[in-house]
């Protein structure tokens, strides 16, 4: 069975602050994918990143960065110099590597960036 835990239900920061969203996962699979999705107030789900379990290299994309640590089963997401437009619900998700590929989502973190 797979499980994704996002312990932070809500986070509020002031614009330009850095913020880290935590994600801890459980799986018996040796290979798997990890994802982050953003859900802005409009409701659609926006894909942010996918990582393979065999690639622990951290990734940076503009103000976004992801820290994948297999040893602690964590896949944390950091937004640098946050902006009001970053306000959204962020979901971490896990899928097995193979034909099934169903996503297991965490419960989400509501991020509010105040001006």
Partner 1 sequence: IAGITQAPTSQILAAGRRMTLRCTQDMRHNAMYWYRQDLGLGLRLIHYSNTAGTTGKGEVPDGYSVSRANTDDFPLTLASAVPSQTSVYFCASSDPPQEYGYTFGSGTRLTVV
Q: Does residue 33 contact residue 97 with C-beta atoms inside 8 Å?
A: yes
Nearer to partner 1, 19 or 23 (CB): 23
Interface residue with partner 1 among 37, 66, 68, 75 (CB under 8 A) is 37
Interface residue with partner 1 among 27, 106, 111, 113 (CB under 8 A) is 106
E strand residue ranges, 53-103: 59-61, 64-69, 74-79, 88-96
Contact set with partner 1 (CB under 8 A): 4, 6, 9, 33, 35, 37, 43-45, 47, 50, 91, 93, 95, 99-108
């Amino acid at each position: 069975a797979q499980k994704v835990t996002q312990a932070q239900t809500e986070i509020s920061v002031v614009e330009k602050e850095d913020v880290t969203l935590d994600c801890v996962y459980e799986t018996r699979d040796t290979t798997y994918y990890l994802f982050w999705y953003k859900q802005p107030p409009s409701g659609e789900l926006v894909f942010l990143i996918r990582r393979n379990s065999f690639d622990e290299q951290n990734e940076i994309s503009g103000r976004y960065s992801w820290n994948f640590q297999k040893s602690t089963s964590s896949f944390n997401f950091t937004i640098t110099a946050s902006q009001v437009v970053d306000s959204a619900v962020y979901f971490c998700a896990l899928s097995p590597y193979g034909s099934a590929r169903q996503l297991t989502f965490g419960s989400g973190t509501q991020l509010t960036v105040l001006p």
